[in-house]
A = this chain, B = another copy of it.
Amino acid sequence: MMEPAPVFADGVDHERLTAQLRFILETDKLKRVLRRNLLVDGSRRENDAEHSWQLTLMARLFAEYAPDGTDIDRVTEMLVLHDIVEIDAGDTFLYDPQHAASQSQREHAAAERLYAILPDDQAKHAHELWSEFESRTTPEARFAKAIDRLAPMLANWHTDGGTWVQFGVTKKQVRDKVAIIAEGSAALGSYAAALIDDAERRGYLTGE
Contact = CB atoms under 8 A, between A and B. Distances in A.
A117 B12 CA distance: 43
A20 interface: yes
Contact of A54 (B28, B57, B62, B198): B28
Count of chain copies: 2
A196 to B, nearest CB: 9
Interface in A65-82: 65, 73, 76-77, 80-81
28 contacts: A2-B41, A5-B157, A5-B194, A5-B195, A5-B198, A6-B198, A7-B194, A7-B195, A7-B198, A9-B187, A11-B187, A12-B65, A12-B190, A20-B61, A24-B54, A24-B61, A25-B158, A28-B41, A30-B53, A31-B39, A31-B46, A49-B50, A53-B56, A56-B56, A56-B76, A56-B80, A60-B77, A61-B122
A9 B39 contact: no
Interface string A63-105: 0010000000100110011000000000000000000000000
A167 interface: no
A32 interface: yes
Most chain B Cβ neighbours within 10 Å, of A6, A43, A186, A191: A191
A47 interface: yes
